[in-house]
Amino acid sequence: MGYQLYKDSPESFPVPFIHGDVLDRSFLKPSPPIYTPPEGPAPDPSQLTTLTPLAGRLSAIHASYFFHLFSEEKQLQIAQWLAGLLFPVPGSMIFGQHVGYPTKGTIVIHPTGEPVAMFCHSPESWEGLWNGVVFKQGSVKVQAELSTLPVPKGALDHTCWQLVWSITRV
**Which pLDDT score, from 0 to 100, does residue 157 have?**
60
- Chain mean pLDDT for the chain: 88
Tens of pLDDT, residue by residue over 100-132, are 999 999 988 877 778 888 999 999 999 999 999
Strands 12-14 and 93-99: unpaired
Is the residue at 138 inside a domain?
yes
**Extended strands (E) in 7-139:** 12-14, 58-62, 93-99, 105-109, 116-120
Is the residue at 50 inside a domain?
yes
Is the residue at 137 inside a domain?
yes
Give this prediction's pTM.
Answer: 0.85
Is the residue at 158 inside a domain?
no
Counting the structural domains of the chain, the total is 1
φ, ψ at 47 (rounded to 5°): -100, 0
Is the residue at 101 inside a domain?
no
Determine the structural domain holding residue 80 and report its residue range.
2-96+129-144+164-169
